Structures are given as structure tokens and as C-alpha cells.
Amino acid sequence: MRTAYTADQIRGAERTLMARLPEGTLMQRAAAGLASVCAHLLGQVYGSRVVLLVGSGDNGGDALYAGQRLARRGARVVAVLAGSKTHEAGLRALLDAGGRVAGPGDTREIDAADLILDGLVGIGASGALREPYARLAEQAGAAPGLVVAVDVPSGVDASTGRVEGAAARATVTVTMGAYKTGLLVDPGAKFAGRVELVDIGLAPYLPEPDVAALGRDDVAGLLPRPGAESDKYRRGVLGVAAGSHLYTGAAVLAVGGALRAGAGMVRYAGAEEPVAQVRAHWPEAVITQLRRPSVDDVGRVQAWVLGPGLGTDEWAHELAASVLASDVPVLVDADGLTLLALDSALLRRTAPVLLTPHAGELARLTGADRADIEADRLRHVRAAAAELGVTVLLKGSTTLVAEPSGAARVNVTGSSWLATGGTGDVLSGIAGALLAQGLSTYDAASCGAYVHGLAGRLAADGAPLTAAGVATAVPAAIRTVTSGSTLAENLPSRSRER
């Protein structure tokens, strides 16, 4: 499991550790790790051109000491001093190793650099970058050389991932001691590139993490597996109330996602048009054509998926009320979320609820502005979970899962090719199947997002995909997780479900 922390949590741990070590030890550890990553990226250090963007804080000191190490190996290192002050010992060490100095106005070296080390600001910074930092961060991002951020890209809030104005867009971020929340959560994650963690001895002094990202082994340990005594009922029966005469495909995709994710049985309930499509695509499903908007006669289920393509008319509202009146967990997506936004009384139930909105749907549910949600995703998903008293999975460029308690997870699998219609319906089916198999809403959402993102990567393989293709790839994704394949552990592209 990958755990991440706020800036305050990191600084508290650093203070505790520094009190036990000789002065400057942590900076030297950080600089050594930073220089090692830079050397690996450069391939041949001797003769390479390295530019350090040096601010006033400790990140500038890390960059200077790393530059010293690279200069000793024959790199031509130039430090652009942008701050009102400079780490004196670090600057002296760089100069003694043969490095040079330039002022913030002399930026010609940036465009010629093979590698640019961003040490402008550190984890304590928040808000928009001031000049000359903003200009230097933008110039570094536009330059052809590799950009390596020290701890966190300048302009990215380490605790939230917020980006207000200019920010350095890194090829690699070398973060010290522990992951920072803002490196895993968009928009900050988009600027971080690949994140490399340098161990500086901080782990024993860290508190409970701010967020967590499940890894392959975590998901493998949570995914249900049939045993010798399993039958279709013990493996979980999922009810799906989805689709309408306008949106028949949503029902097909949700049912397909559930079946592919291992539900023992899927009971589909819907109107005539989607019933015909589900029957044609999935003969395995047990189908009930509804004559009235009620699921009383559908049969016993262990969980429900409600909403994909359902519509928002009075018939859909009554069907939603019938599903939510049950005593089993319910996943609500798409049109079901719109119905909740129109009638919040539907959420007055004691059984667990999992909501799976994108930013626009979350805005309708909570009254927040969509742009504000996109800018500060973690704060808004936590606030929604607490306000509504349910588990919330916020889909988008970073998929987040939050509990009313404030516990939160970020999903690290996926592909940008998932930005296509219907993939969210497949996710609903996957997570719904895991609910029916006994996982909590928190674990079902987290594992469902992980498997769904991995299925998207497998289905895309670097090319466009369809939602049906994602559903087809779900068994391969589960096999990848449970077999221990390293594919599931590689740093993935960011996902966006619709």
C-alpha cells in the first residue's frame, strides 16, 4: 500500500528525526538520493548540462548539494539563484565542485540544459508562485530537457494537489521520506510525472497517513475468491436497476461489468427495451421485465446497482425509491445520482450506500461549483462523504474514494483512454459485484476502481477502447492482480471515467 501525507505531517516527522541526528544529515541524505536519480536519468553524467533552479528554502539546499555531486562526476552545473537568500553551505559546496552561478534573469542555460532541477519551493509553500519563480517554472516546463522536481513540483500544493497559476511540470519528482498527498491527487499529480521515493529514515516517525493507494497485493487480498463450497448464491447475487428506452446500452454494460467481475448471479430489472438488449447480450442474467416501478418481485439480492441510463422521470424516481427501500447495500450512479440531487429524502436509509459521481454530478449533489471540485478534489469528496453519510467514489482524472469518517484512498491504475462513454457503467457493475460478494462499500469502491482501471489499460494497450472492451478485459485484470503480475504495479496513466 502506498501511503501519503500532508505537509504538516511530514514536517512534524522531520522535526522529530532531525532532533536525533547531526545537523545537515537529512539534507545530505536527500541530496544523495536526488543526485542518484538524476544520474540515472542522464545516463552519462560527464559532460551533461544541468541547471539548478534554486529558491530560498531547504529545497534549494537539496538542489545545490545534488548539483555538487553531479559536478564532481563531470556535469556542467549552473545554479540559477532565484530566492532572496541562498543556502550558503550548499552554494559553497557547488562552487568548490566546479559549478557556476547565474541570476534569475539569466535563463539562457535553461533551454540548453539536459536536465533541470526544480528546487524553487518546497512542501510548505501554498498559493500561486510569485516572480521570478512563476516565470522560471514555466520556462522549465517549456524547455526540451528533463525536469526533476525536488520533493514536489513548484506551484503544486503538497497537501492537496491544488495548482493556482504557474507550476513546474516535472518528468520525475523525487520526493523525500514519504509520498505527499498532492503528488497522488490531480491536478498536482499531472505535474509530478513519475514519482521516485527516497528513504531518508522518516518512516518510524510518520503518523496515520492522510490518504492511501491500494497496491496489487492489497487488492489481491481483498478480492473474493470462490471456495470448494461456493455456489452461485454464496458468490453473491447482484440486482441491477438500470437502462431505459433511451439508454439501453447502460444496462448492458453494467450487467456485463458485474458478470465479468465474478458475481454469482445478476438479476436485471428494467423496462422492455433494455430487457431485450440485456437478454441478447447476457443470457446468464436472470431478467425481470418490470410492469411497474418496483423491485418487490425481482427476487433476493445481496446488493443493488441503481441508476446507469435509468432516466429521471417519475417512473425512474419510483423505481429508485423501491431499490433504496431495500435492506442491502446500494451503489448509485449516473441518473440515480440526479434523482438523489432532486430528492435527497431518497438517501434516508440505514443500509450502506456507495455513490459514484463525476465532478458535475457531485456538484449537483452538494451545491459546490464543478470547477472548485476539480481544483480541490480530495477536500470535496471528503466533505460530500461526511455531509451525506455515505461512501463516495469521485471519478475523474484521479479517482478518489472517501468515507464519512474522513478516510480516503486514491486509485493509481487506469488509462486516459477510459475517457469514453459507458466506462462508468462498467465500473458500477464491477463495484456492485464486489458489494454483492461481501466487500464493504469502501473496499468495493477501492478494489472496483483498481480493477476497472487495470482493465482499461489492458483493453487500450496504447490505442482507443470501448466500454464493452473494458468489460471484456475485467477477468484478465483480476487474473493480473491475483497472479502477482508486475503490470499492476507499474506507474500507470491517469484515468478518467465517464
Q: Binding site membership for AMP: which residues?
A: 395-399, 424
Strands 49-54 and 115-119 turn out to be parallel
One-letter amino acid of 459 = A
The span from the CA of 235 to the CA of 225, in Å, is 8
Cα dihedral 167/170/174/178 (nearest 10): 50
Query: How many Cα atoms are found within 13 Å in the side-chain-facing hemisphere of 156?
Result: 30
- 3-state class of 53 per DSSP? strand
3-state secondary structure 172-216: EEEEECCEEHHHHCCCHHHHHCEEEEECCCCHHHCCCCCEEECCH
**Residue 319 backbone dihedrals phi, psi, to 5 degrees:** -65, -40
DSSP H helices, 287-369, are: 314-324, 335-342, 359-366
Q: Which of 175, 72, 170 is nearest to 117 (CA)?
A: 170
Annotated binding site for K(+): 59, 118, 154
Annotated binding site: 58-62, 118, 122-128, 133, 151, 154, 250, 309, 358, 395-399, 424-425
Residues sharing a CB contact under 8 Å with residue 471, sequence separation 6 or more, in sequence order: 253, 256, 257, 260, 426, 429, 455
Rounded to 10 deg, the angle between the 467-483 and 423-436 helix axes is: 40
Beta carbons of 418 and 453 less than 8 angstroms apart: yes
The span from the CA of 331 to the CA of 329, in Å, is 7
The span from the CA of 239 to the CA of 250, in Å, is 14
Residues sharing a CB contact under 8 Å with residue 425, sequence separation 6 or more, in sequence order: 242, 249, 250, 253, 254, 257, 308, 309, 333, 334, 467
The span from the CA of 277 to the CA of 240, in Å, is 14
Annotated binding site for (6S)-NADPHX: 58-62, 122-128, 133, 151, 250, 309, 358, 425
Q: 414 to each of 137, 448, 468, 497, how far by Cα in Å?
A: 28, 12, 16, 9
Joined grid coordinates for residue 4 = 501519503
- 3-state class of 102 per DSSP? strand
